[in-house]
Structure 1
Amino acid sequence: MKEQTVNESISLYKDTYSELYSALKWKVDKHSLMLIAAMYVTNAKEFNLKRFIDIADYIKDHVGMFSYLKSTQRFTIAATLDTTSEDPKESFHQFISIYDKLIENGFTRNAFSYIAAGTLLKVEPNRIDEIVQKTHEVYKGMRKNHFFLTNPGDYPLATILAQRELDSDIIVRNVEDYYQTLHKKGFYLGNDLQFLSHILAIETSHRPEEKADQCLMIRDMLKKANLKTKSAYYPYIGMLSFLENTIGEFESLVAINEDLNKDKLFKWNKDVNFMMSVLFLMNQFSAVGEAARTGLNISIETLIQAQQAAMTASMTAAAVASSNSSSSS
């Protein structure tokens, strides 16, 4: 698929979502369909409904009766496989192998472990064991620092952090430095702040004080634009801090957000629309590779992967909470 402008990406996103919604509205919640549509657009993968459903059915047919992948999560995993590999069915077995290794190394069997496994699909096979072990070390370090905050929802970002060329104890220390510095600047303590700390710790060339000031500036800009700045938005404030010219790009962010909020397909999903706005804005820079123009030592692709992992985890958590609420009522 050719490189697209933001407007072209948004148009394609709407078309893909409409096709997904028409086919799966009784099987998959709207937020998950929005995420799936965005995954195809940001990965520049042409969407084919028949192929997508075939992959989802293949997943359902090749897991145990009580697997989370018997549920609607198989559709987001199908999108992950379809957008990251040439042979999704073959990649599925690699994906399950990675998932099993995570479980063997102490992760629990839940939806977040599957998301974490998906973030490792592009890791060289000969490094999987090393990264999986390091992931668990990073997670244990986070849990030691914040026992009551750290939970399986943190698995996906732990796997991405573990891929950095740093020792696990240094990664954990960086996350904690960001957490404490951001709190001193006025960000509320909690899991959303920890998530923001994870995002910022992916890149190591900036000082926590510098990035915290930048995040504070972005939060103030969002307030002035009458956009919500609740703690659930913290990870996306972190994403915006990686832009070379945040102020210059801010108008584009507002325009994308307004476009989605006005569309009848999405107007009742303003929180997800904001996440998508940041995702589409960041995706403009995905062709930069190692992002030399921004001075980062990580690729924009890694950031987008981290953002998709964060979005998938938050939507999965919301779906689980909704399901638990329904079953108890």
Structure 2
Amino acid sequence: MTERLRNKCDLFLRNRNAVSKKFMLEKGMMSIAAGLIFTGADKEADIEKLTECRKLLNKHTGFFSEYRDAVKLALLSEMALSEAPEQYIEDVKAVYKKLHKGKFRDNSYMVLAAMLICDLGKQDSADEIVEKHNEIMKQMEKQHPILTGSEDISYVILLALSDRPVDTMISDMNECFDYLRKTCKIKADPDSVQGLSEILALTDGNIREKCDKVISIYNILKDNKADITGGCAFSALGTLIGIDEAPEAIAAEILEADTFLDGCKGFDEKSVNKNQRLMFAVMLSAESFEMASSVISNTFINNALGIIKAQKIATMITIISNVLPTVLGAVIDNVSEKNDNSDTKESEQKASES
């Protein structure tokens, strides 16, 4: 295990333990989720600030509010990482109202979606994001009606935040899904394959080349008896695409992290299943490598929550912790390039006029 990965694992364990000790009444998986958020931001969990943020949350929301339900610890963690926690919760509430009008299907997903948008500073674009989200969901439901549901909202929010055209992303998703299922005959369940397809469609690049890299890592993990044949861990493999390393090196780090976690209290088979633990290993490994594209240092709130089930909460949070920084880096690179080209053209035009 590399020193960087070991440091990530140690930080994750410290954060998870600190949060679970203070918030003992919360579901165990949510303390893991909060630990992942702080670790993704490369920060020690600030328990004092978390406690202060809980008071702020109680001040600004009702007792039975959706903000205090399944999403609470994730929301508190993001508030604690914010420079202005009170303004943060106000912004989230304002965006949430817009999303609610956009007919999202589940309140927990809407809260997380609002947090995503605020973390990106996209509050003023909420209406356009909702419109793009609805268009993507409409096309997905038409082509994969059985597979598409509330659990896809988290990925689709990311797709809606991307500046890639809807038709291009849908085309990539469909090609990826068919390639993995029909050509490569991947044994993972269809929902996991669709989740992976959505992640891989977030960024530019040849979709089959991205699929091939995932398959290479998948095969190495499977050959080493890792529980990678489906579930949250399989979809999480999509977060590794931005790593400019050989599949063998990436898989080796994942296996090292999985073995490390297996020996830690709270991560044995009595506490989490093998697939969940492997998912955490994928996340920690992804953060231990340098990404090929620009990566934003801050970690943003993760994927939409799976309603009340703590298992799905941790699953969704992990995926976004990995995907979003890479996606944002690619988006910012693209915007920067467009701005540079625009400035160049403007300068050339002025020069010709003079």
TM range (shorter): 0.7 to 0.9
**In the aligned structure 2, how far is the partner of 1:181 from the partner of 1:6?**
32
TM-score, normalised on structure 1? 0.83
**Cα deviation code 1:155-191 (max 9, x no counterpart):** 1111111122122232222222211221111134522
**In the aligned structure 2, how far is the partner of 1:303 from the partner of 1:179?**
31
**In the aligned structure 1, how far is the partner of 2:30 from the partner of 2:68?**
15
- The higher radius of gyration belongs to 2
TM superposition outliers: structure 1 runs of 4+ over 6 Å: none
Aligned counterpart, 1:313? 305
* Alignment coverage as a number of residue pairs: 303
CA shift for structure 1 position 107: 0.8
**In the aligned structure 1, how far is the partner of 2:300 from the partner of 2:223?**
29
Aligned counterpart, 1:181? 179
Q: 2:37·2:299 contact (CA, 8 Å) conserved in 1? A: no
Q: 2:177·2:194 contact (CA, 8 Å) conserved in 1? A: yes
Residue 105 (1) aligns with residue 102 (2): yes
**Cα deviation code 1:104-146 (max 9, x no counterpart):** 1121342112122222121334333222321222222222222
Q: 2:70·2:305 contact (CA, 8 Å) conserved in 1? A: no
**In the aligned structure 2, how far is the partner of 1:152 from the partner of 1:314?**
8
Q: Secondary structure at the match of 1:120?
A: helix
CA shift for structure 1 position 314: 5.0
Q: 2:19·2:47 contact (CA, 8 Å) conserved in 1? A: yes
**In the aligned structure 2, how far is the partner of 1:141 from the partner of 1:126?**
25
**In the aligned structure 1, how far is the partner of 2:55 from the partner of 2:299?**
27
Aligned counterpart, 2:30? 32
Q: Secondary structure at the match of 1:107?
A: coil
Q: Secondary structure at the match of 1:313?
A: coil
> Does the C-alpha gap of structure 1 residues 279 and 304 become closer, same or farther in structure 2, counting only changes over 3 Å?
farther
Residue 151 of structure 2, aligned match among 153, 167, 171: 153
Aligned counterpart, 1:250? 251
Q: Which amino acid aligns with 2:138?
A: K
Aligned counterpart, 1:120? 117
Residue 162 of structure 1, aligned match among 160, 163, 180: 160
Aligned counterpart, 1:198? 198
Q: 2:199·2:239 contact (CA, 8 Å) conserved in 1? A: yes
Q: How does 1:1-329 map to 2 (within 5 A)?
A: 5-25=4-24, 27-83=25-81, 85-121=82-118, 122-184=120-182, 185-187=184-186, 188=188, 190-206=190-206, 208-232=207-231, 233-245=233-245, 246-267=247-268, 268-269=271-272, 270-285=274-289, 291=291, 294=292, 296=293, 299-301=294-296, 308-309=302-303, 313-314=305-306, 316-318=308-310
TM-score, normalised on structure 2? 0.77
Q: Secondary structure at the match of 1:229?
A: coil
Q: Which amino acid aligns with 1:156?
A: S
CA shift for structure 1 position 316: 4.9
CA shift for structure 1 position 317: 4.4
**In the aligned structure 2, how far is the partner of 1:273 from the partner of 1:49?**
25
Q: Secondary structure at the match of 1:173?
A: helix
**In the aligned structure 1, how far is the partner of 2:298 from the partner of 2:281?**
14
Q: Which amino acid aligns with 2:60?
A: H
* Deviates most, 62-71 or 44-53: 62-71
**In the aligned structure 2, how far is the partner of 1:70 from the partner of 1:8?**
32
* Deviates most, 98-107 or 120-129: 120-129
CA shift for structure 1 position 72: 4.3
Q: 1:183·1:189 contact (CA, 8 Å) conserved in 2? A: no
Aligned counterpart, 2:323? none
**In the aligned structure 2, how far is the partner of 1:273 from the partner of 1:304?**
20
**Cα deviation code 1:272-313 (max 9, x no counterpart):** 32122111122134xx6xx4xx2x4xx44599758x41xx63
Q: Secondary structure at the match of 2:39?
A: helix
Q: 2:129·2:161 contact (CA, 8 Å) conserved in 1? A: yes
> Does the C-alpha gap of structure 1 residues 149 and 318 become closer, same or farther in structure 2, counting only changes over 3 Å?
farther
Q: Which amino acid aligns with 2:31?
A: L
- What percent identity do the matched residue pairs reach? 19
Q: Which runs of 5+ in 1 are unaligned?
A: 322-329
CA shift for structure 1 position 50: 2.1
Give the root-mean-square deviation of aligned CA atoms: 2.6
> Does the C-alpha gap of structure 1 residues 192 and 304 become closer, same or farther in structure 2, counting only changes over 3 Å?
farther
Q: 1:239·1:303 contact (CA, 8 Å) conserved in 2? A: no
Q: Which runs of 5+ in 2 are unaligned?
A: 314-354
Q: 2:177·2:197 contact (CA, 8 Å) conserved in 1? A: yes
**In the aligned structure 1, how far is the partner of 2:127 from the partner of 2:267?**
41
